[in-house]
Amino acid sequence: MRKRRRKPFQRYFALCRRKGESRCGEASERFLKRLRLILPQIESRLNSPSGQWSALGVIDINQLVYPLSQDTKLVSKIIELMIMPALKEFAEQYYYKIEIPSEQNYYPDATFTDFTGCRFAVDIKTTYRLRHNPNTVSSMTLGTFVGYFRERDSSKNILYPYREYSAHFILGVIYTRTEGLPQATPPRPLKEADLVPRVIHDLRVFVEHKYKIASDRPGSGNTKNIGSVRRLDQILNGSGPFAAYGEQVFDDYWMHYQTRDMAGSGTPPYTNLEEYFKWRNWSR
């Protein structure tokens, strides 16, 4: 039986493998399986029995509850605060060392290290289902494709240099925005907290390798961030465009990707995965 030949990009990246990669690769998949076991627990913390968000609002010293807004940054931060205790309990259960950066805008949100020294990045992301198509979500930004992503020995804006992480995971929360909320809702006494309107509902939690849910296009806005796929099935199944080719293709693609302003007066070498393979002169 003739041995199956590797594709050009597979042969290329086989030469770049690091010592200990196999051991930490197995540890990464074990970490992922364990983390998925606690997803129901996280969902139960985020959802009330009726399927509404369990967060009520902000309580002041007078025991008044102020309703939250649908501002995506506010929602994301509160969800992160609600998830962190579960991650710390997870680390204790499986004897991982967990580290949370003290600085804002540092990558990742949580770093886990096992007893052999294999290190895993977990970044918490949130997004909402689109009203006109609930099977599509607003794009998530999965981190920068410049800075520490390209300078992999750098410690700027990252807890440890990027190359020291054996795997990079996205712990994501998908939710639905509540429609028809009143524009101005006064605070209520704590005993009437159940009457405070919930700004989101139906929260779904997932965890996946970053490269498996990444798009081949940047995220929204002018920031140099990697965008995510937007189809719900691709997110939950980890079947984005890079999933079939592996993390090394994902890394190479985004390490060489250029926006129009990065290319200066020239033209970017590629703007999607098909053009990337032609630029590399590789068959898919």
Which residues have a catalytic role annotated? 109, 123, 125
Q: Which residue has the tokens 């997932």?
A: 206
Q: How far is CA 233 from the centre of its chain?
A: 16
Copy the structure tokens of residue 59: 């309580």
Buried b (16+ CB within 10 A) or exposed e, 20-52: eeeebeebbeebbeebeebeeebeebbbeeeeb
Copy the structure tokens of residue 80: 């992160």
Copy the structure tokens of residue 8: 């050009």
Q: Going by C-beta distance under 8 Å and a sequence separation of 6 or more, which residues neighbour residue 23?
A: 116, 118
Q: What are phi and psi of 26, to 5 degrees?
A: -65, -40
Q: How far apart are CA 17 and CA 179, in angstroms?
A: 50
Query: Half-sphere exposure (CA, 13 Å, Cβ side) for 124?
Result: 23
Copy the structure tokens of residue 63: 């025991």
